[in-house]
Amino acid sequence: MTWIKRNLLFVIGGVLALVLLGAAGIYDYSSWRRNSVAFDKLNEVYNTLRTLTNQKPSPGNDRINNVETAKEQEAQLRDWINRSRHYFQPITPIPNPTNGPISNESFADALHRTIDQLRREAPNANVGLQPQYSFSFEAQSSRVKFAPGSLDLLAVQLGEVKAIAEILFAGRINQLDGIQRLRVSDDDTSGPQADYLIDNSVTTDLAVMTPYTVTFRAFSPEIGQTLAGFASSPNGFVVKSINVQPAGAATTDMLQGVGGVRSSGPASPPGKGGLQTVLQEQLLRVTLEVEIVKLLPKK
């Protein structure tokens, strides 16, 4: 105690120093905590920004607003679609009653009349068909009652198949080997496999794309006419792929009556030790994958 009394000022100064050191430590700790929390939040914001920037497409930055650009491009696309709708006119279903649902009787009658019509149009266009070909509706051709819930879908397909067949006839192909469509009815399970595709329609925000495959025999000019027919159609046909290969000797012999082999130019007389030169165009077998683009109603 005597020492403390003698050194009172020193003791008081030491105590004050300890108090100030403690306060400084507490302040430093509080500041460190605040800085740590702020740093964590800064990292979170930075990581979010980096994630957004790395997205494809990126939302942009302070100079480029990709979100607004995307909205403007979507508006431009919808405006283009509205202006080009006359290139995507819907194909009328067969039948297409206006005063009620499609009945079994009306569809059966429409199916028979449509197939008969196409069978008559084919020879008028010099197009060969398989005997009693039903244009992919073999499963339905002998029925008078159809699977419940399938008539509307079948009517749409019948209208689309008719439109496809008439483009092929207008192109003056030599022979139609087959048209393949999607299965839309329980009745289709009993039909020949060659009538159907293992595929599905694709639906987007703007349209429904329905696939078909057609196989036919033709010479190159008629193939060009057929492709032009699909391209100029107002019904939104898109040729997705084309496969062309020689039709083969058997088919050529079968189609001699409708021009299985074409010769161009006069035959030159054989020279000494030479061969006669004849320019021939061979019949080709063509497989087209075609989609029908059907725009959805305006929102």
How confident is the model at residue 259, as a pLDDT? 45
What six digits make up the tokens of 123?
Answer: 């020879």
Containing H/E element for 212?
strand 207-218
pLDDT score of 244: 94
pLDDT at 161: 98
* Distance separating alpha carbons of residues 22 and 32, to the nearest angstrom: 15
Burial of 147 (0-12, 13-18, 19+ CB in 10 A): middle
Cα four-point dihedral sign 154, 160, 163, 168:
negative
Q: Please report the pLDDT score of residue 296 as a whole number.
A: 84
Strand 279-282 with 175-180, pairing: unpaired
| pLDDT for the residue numbered 258 | 46
Q: Phi/psi of residue 237, each to 5°? A: -80, 135
The pLDDT of residue 174 is: 96
pLDDT score recorded for residue 86: 75
Residue-wise pLDDT for 198-249, tens only, equals 989 999 888 899 999 999 999 999 999 999 999 999 999 999 999 999 987 5
Measured N-to-C along each axis, helices 104-124 and 151-170 cross at an angle, to the nearest 10 degrees, of 10
Q: Which two tokens stand for residue 174?
A: 């030599």
What confidence score (pLDDT) does residue 267 get?
A: 46
Q: Contact 111/137 with Cβ under 8 angstroms?
A: yes
Q: What φ, ψ does residue 191 adopt, rounded to 5°?
A: -85, 165
Residue whose pair of structure tokens reads 């439109």 in the numeric block: 163
Under CATH, what is the fold of the domain 86-257+281-295? Alpha-Beta Plaits (3.30.70)
Q: Which residues of the chain have pLDDT under 50?
A: 250-261, 263-268, 277
Contact 138, 192 (CB under 8 A): yes
Q: Write out pLDDT tens, residues 181-200.
A: 999 999 999 999 999 999 89
Q: What is the pTM of this model?
A: 0.68
Domains of the chain, residue spans = 86-257+281-295
Burial per residue of 238-268, b for 16 or more beta-carbon CB atoms within 10 angstroms, e otherwise: eeeeeeeeebeeebbebbeeeebeeeeeeee
- For residues 57 and 53, give the distance between their C-alpha atoms in angstroms, rounded to a whole number: 8
